[in-house]
Amino acid sequence: MKIAMLISGGVDSSVALRLLKDAGHDVTAFYLKIWLEDELQYLGDCPWEEDLSYVEQICKEANVPLEVVSMQKEYWDRVVSYTIAECKAGRTPNPDIFCNQQVKFGSFYDKIDDSFEKVATGHYAQVEELDGQFILKKAPDPIKDQTYFLSYLSQEQLSRAMFPIGHLKKEAVRELAEKYNLPNKSRKDSQGICFLGKIPYREFIKEHLGEMPGDFVEWDPESSSGGEKIGGHQGHWFYTIGQRFGLGLSGGPWFVVEKDAEKNIIYLANGYDPESVYGTEFEVREMNWISGFRSQISDFELKVKIRHGAKSHPCTVEVDGDLVKVKLTEKVHGIAAGQFAVFYLPSRQAGDGDVCLGGGIIT
């Protein structure tokens, strides 16, 4: 096949490129250059020049043509502006989900012609075609699995997506990097939000929203106005539900349990597991069902992730118009408005692996 390979300079996408090349595909590599790498570089180290250097070496050794595609405007319009707006509203955004839906498997499709049958990435996920439907399945590596970040893809997008390392565990990918003697074989995995690189998230938010002094108030579930003031902060948008670090308070542990964006108040609980900050029910809006399970979804026992990671929670759901009502079978900490809930059909009901059904935004 003729394949467009999105390559970042990391080990995962580099190994994916070599696997495609070894399989005899006609591969062209694409490096996406995003806006923030230039405009806010002074906020911290932004490694795009180092990334591109690795990409050029890898493509040269594999004899794969490379194109650098500028997508600054697309990132701003579709990912960055969303992130800023959600933070300002007091919600918890997930820009990586929109990066995949809107850019990598969205506007990038418009940058290439239809002769490219597939767009490949280094994501840990698997795609299968079953009875004319494209199914998104978990990778076998529960820590690295990235289906959470791919949960907003449509059937059309998924039909063209390809994940060459999705069937592998991370240690196997590292072994392949050694086998190919890739110049980045020992490079650490990138962390953080897709468009920030090494730029601190707090500095990025400060650049766009500034500071707005407010109060830390001790959480009191019995009082509508909360407890006593215990400190100050520089803006509610710097904090997320469940956050335990960077609060700057003694006498802890303290962590964020509630935010009042209108009053600019952050409510904190003292202790590790106060009963009042756990929840068993929430609602989800703007739901994307990847493979059309919406009509019969209430018949299944599902699992849900409320953040990226290996941990998922058993649940049942009820579809009520445009809302999905979720009931957990166990109490869960850190359910945050704006964050994504992503649903899975466990392997005992789905065959040989957990199926990602799709996701939506927690209200």
| Residues involved in catalysis | 99, 194
Asked whether the beta carbons of 58 and 13 are under 8 A apart, the reply is no
- The answer to whether the CB of 36 falls within 8 A of the CB of 29 is no
Tokens of residue 313, six digits: 């929670």
Q: How many other C-beta atoms are found inside a 10 Å radius of the C-beta of residue 285? A: 11
Per-residue burial over 83-117, b = 16 or more CB atoms within 10 Å of its CB, e = otherwise: bbebbbebbbbbbbbbbbbbbbbbbbbeeeeeebe
3-state secondary structure 266-282: EEEEECCCCHHHEEEEE
- Note every long-range contact of 224-231, with CB atoms under 8 Å and residues 24 or more positions apart, other chains counting: 226/265, 226/267, 230/268
Could you identify the residue written with the tokens 């990334």?
51
Q: Give me 237's structure tokens.
A: 């948008």
Distance between CA atoms of residues 260 and 89, nearest Å = 9
82 vs 87: CA distance, rounded Å: 9
Cβ 75 vs Cβ 195: under 8 Å: yes
Q: How many whole angstroms separate alpha carbon 209 and alpha carbon 73?
A: 20
Please measure the distance between the N-terminal and C-terminal CA atoms of the chain and give it in whole angstroms. Answer: 42
E-strand ranges in the chain read 2-6, 26-33, 66-70, 118-120, 125-130, 133-138, 161-162, 214-218, 229-233, 254-260, 265-270, 278-289, 302-305, 313-320, 323-333, 340-345, 355-362
> In sequence order, what are the residues at sequence separation of 6 or more whose Cβ sits closer than 8 angstroms to the Cβ of residue 253?
244, 270, 271, 272
